[in-house]
Amino acid sequence: MKLFADFGKGFGNCFKAFSVIFEKGLWMYLFYPLIIWVLTWIASIYGLMALSDYLLDWLKSSLSIESITSGNSWLSFLTPKVTGTFGFIFSWILKLVFWFVGSVFSKYFILIILSPVFSLLSEKSEEKINGSNFPFSITQIIKDIVRGTLISLRNLSLELLISFALWLMAIFFPPLFFVTFPLGLIIGWYFVGFSMLDYSCERHKLSVSKGVKFIKENKGYAIGIGCVYSLFMGLPTIMGDIVGMMFGPAIAVVGATISFLEIKNKSAVV
């Protein structure tokens, strides 16, 4: 099946990026995301965990949930969601929701802030890979920033909308969590890969609509690229976070560039 085959290619191309980064002298691009991460890490983790606890307490007190009996209130259906064993599950699902939303915002914050850097890395990667030459242009850089920001905001809105629907289902019917959680991960991978591939689409003069069409037709590549990015970004421990932030974005950008050129060489559409 094309989707799975393309997923494997996109995934593998990200690991080919290591040789491009280190053999072609692009290693300095590993440090820019790390700097941004250091500035946002505390707020995105501790702040959202505290907010989830506050929201749960507010929900309990506002609904007076302890006084609701199973037969005398239209709110009785909420009782098992916030009390007892289900309350414990509900609490942790709520924490995961805020962690997920926080990670989504953090992810797109990095993509937006560093869009000119990632665009330049994608450009330099293509020059190193096949000898292309892209003259420096301040106008092109501004266009890259604007387009990268708009694409990231578009993807952020779509991902949050879809994820909200999935998490809402899991909150009111916790067993669905085992379906909605992996589906949410895949959706997140797709939109990250989308952003990484779009740098090449912009450089090759594809309009936004044509770029969207191109990436949808090669969604397996996007999911594979986003998967590698997310695996690095999800490495455990502080050292894992540092390694993930250094390598995740850079190899995803270069892997997306390799993937774009691979698709381009097989297609007359691009």
**Closest of 86, 102, 90 to residue 49, by C-alpha:** 102
In this prediction, residue 178 carries a pLDDT of 82
16 and 258 in contact (C-beta within 8 Å)? yes
- Alpha carbon dihedral 164, 169, 175, 181, in 10-degree steps, equals -20
Contacts of 3 (CB under 8 A, 6+ apart): 219, 220, 223
Predicted TM-score of the model (pTM): 0.74
In this prediction, residue 23 carries a pLDDT of 87
Report the residue count for the chain. Answer: 270
In this prediction, residue 46 carries a pLDDT of 64
- In the chain, the amino acid numbered 186 is I
| pLDDT tens track for 154-192 | 888 888 888 788 878 877 777 777 888 888 889 989 999
In this prediction, residue 51 carries a pLDDT of 64
- Percent of the chain at pLDDT exceeding 70: 73
In this prediction, residue 233 carries a pLDDT of 81
**If residue 227 lies in a helix (H) or strand (E), which one and from where to where?**
helix 219-233
26 vs 36: CA distance, rounded Å: 19
Q: Which residue has the higher pLDDT, 253 or 79?
A: 253
5-9, 174-178, 230-234: range with lowest mean pLDDT: 174-178
**For 140-144, which contacts have Cβ atoms below 8 Å and span 24 or more sequence positions?**
141/116, 143/202, 144/115, 144/116, 144/119, 144/199, 144/202
199 and 130 in contact (C-beta within 8 Å)? no
| pLDDT tens track for 76-87 | 555 555 455 555
In this prediction, residue 137 carries a pLDDT of 74
3-state secondary structure of 143: helix
Mean pLDDT for the stretch of residues 109-136: 84
Rg (CA), the chain: 21
| pLDDT tens track for 29-53 | 888 888 777 776 666 666 666 666 6
63 and 75 in contact (C-beta within 8 Å)? yes
**∠ CA 225-228-229, rounded to 5°:** 85
Mean pLDDT of the chain: 79
41 vs 47: CA distance, rounded Å: 10
Tell me the pLDDT band of 65, cut-offs 50, 70 and 90.
Answer: very low
Residue 266 has pLDDT above 90, yes or no: no
In this prediction, residue 87 carries a pLDDT of 55
In this prediction, residue 68 carries a pLDDT of 47
In this prediction, residue 86 carries a pLDDT of 54
106-120, 226-240, 251-265: range with lowest mean pLDDT: 106-120
Tell me the pLDDT band of 235, cut-offs 50, 70 and 90.
Answer: confident
168 vs 270: CA distance, rounded Å: 39
57-66, 112-121, 156-165, 202-211: range with lowest mean pLDDT: 57-66
151 and 194 in contact (C-beta within 8 Å)? yes
User: How would DSSP label each residue in 3-25?
Assistant: HHHHHHHHHHHHHHHHHHHHHTT
